[in-house]
Chain A
Amino acid sequence: MSNLNPIPQSVADILDAEAEVTAPMLAGVGQVGWMKTWPQLATYSHYSQLKSLVLRSLAAVLKDCNLGAGYDAALDCAKPLIMERLTQPSTDIQNRLLKLVEGEPFGPKVELTAERLAQLKVIFKETLLSEDWQAIAKAAAAEVQHQVLDLIVA
């Protein structure tokens, strides 16, 4: 047996906490998000690794737009849109996305290099529809407008 350190709680407390777990599994994630439609994303680790890279890239792309006060609103609008558009992307887009994280270990975030960002920017342009970009722009504009009009109230 090992010489691991003892668990820092009374065993009884831990056993009670385990019995009272209200989740169906103690750990592990079933099919969420794109996992439902991309068989290549075999585990939650595959999924969360790619999703993290995509969402960080999206944030970086919008940051580059210098949206100022409208940035958060634009990002909040854009995130669900890209998640939805990537639910069933073309095989070509799937392959390009998977290539971006190929061979990367799970756990730490995959580095958002300039090359990856450039490739993802192209993918966003191909994936998000014109109406999506319009919605993102409107969300940013509305927030800026809101901030300015707040000055009157203040």
Chain B
Amino acid sequence: MSLIQTIELSLGSSGELISADLVNLRDKHVEDYEQHWQPRLQEFSQEDQDLSWRFKEQLANRQANYESYAVEYNGMTQGMMLLETQYHWSMFTPGQRLVYVETVVSAPWNRIYIQRPPRIKGVGRGLIEFARQRSQALGYNGLVGLHSLPGAVQFYEKLGMMRLELDPQEIVDADEDIPYFEYMGQTQEQESRDE
């Protein structure tokens, strides 16, 4: 295992803080998804039951602009994320590249509508925060963009990301009205706070 960093999470039952490992995505995580996640996702008819994490892992291994990560706790995969780091540009800051979150998921048992209380809280936050750090390391000033499913909008608002409304001209049906969120860069955030 190549540990990238530890991230702080909390147990859903007690709120106790725990440390989990953030690592590069590899076969073990895809196997966890297939063997442990998918049966739960299928049981609850979750749309992400058929995501090909094998493909995402291969994509990240083949193409330098993709990076994939996983969060492990107690030997089990708790979350996964795929980033694109070269071809996405900011919607708010012209001419500025950003790190784009292609996909980020938390394990089914960390979702309150599947398991109450959820086993672990904070996996998504930890992964998004890491995406921000990658953006910083790549010289993108901490900018991160993503398309959120409507049911996750409140989470990104709480994270302080800015929402970009879709041009009404480009909405054809409600299913495709998918909100876009972006973290402002450090400079803009500072200016925003100073105002």
Contacts A17-B154, A24-B47, A56-B169; A45 near B104 (Cβ below 8 A)? no
B112-156 near A? 1/0 per residue, CB < 8 Å: 110001100111110011001100110000100111111110111
Measured between alpha carbons, how far is A55 from B169 in the docked complex, in Å?
7
Q: How large is the interface on B (under 10, 10 to 19, 20 to 34, 35 or more residues)?
A: 35 or more
- Most chain A CB within 10 A, of B101, B121, B152, B156, is at B152
Q: Quick check: A26 and B133 within 8 Å, CB to CB?
A: no
- Interface: B106 (CB within 8 A): yes
Residue B26 interfacial (CB < 8 Å): no
A134 within 8 A of B: no
Please, how many angstroms separate the alpha-carbon atoms of A5 and B133 in the complex?
11
Q: Tell whether A22 pairs with B155 under 8 Å between CB atoms, given A14-B125, A105-B88, A107-B88.
A: no
Determine whether B111 belongs to the interface, using a CB cutoff of 8 Å to chain A: yes
Q: Which residues of B contact A56 (CB under 8 A)?
A: 167, 169-170
Report B-chain residues with C-beta under 8 Å of the C-beta of A20.
112, 154-155
B 63-92 binary contact with A (CB < 8 Å = 1; else 0): 000000000000000000010100111110
How many positions in chain A have a CB within 8 Å of any CB in the partner chain? 45
B34 on the A face (CB < 8 A): no
Q: Is A152 an interface residue (CB 8 A)?
A: no
Show 5 A/B contacts (Cβ-Cβ < 8 Å), sorted by A.
Answer: A8-B160, A9-B158, A19-B121, A25-B104, A106-B100
Chain A residues with a Cβ under 8 A of chain B: 1-2, 4-5, 7-9, 11, 13-30, 32-33, 43-45, 48, 51-52, 55-56, 59, 75, 79-80, 83, 105-108
Which residue numbers of B lie inside 8 Å of A, CB to CB? 5, 10, 12, 41, 46-49, 51, 82, 84, 87-91, 94, 98, 100-106, 110-113, 117-118, 121-125, 128-129, 132-133, 136-137, 142, 145-152, 154-160, 167, 169-170, 172-173, 175-176, 178, 186, 189-190
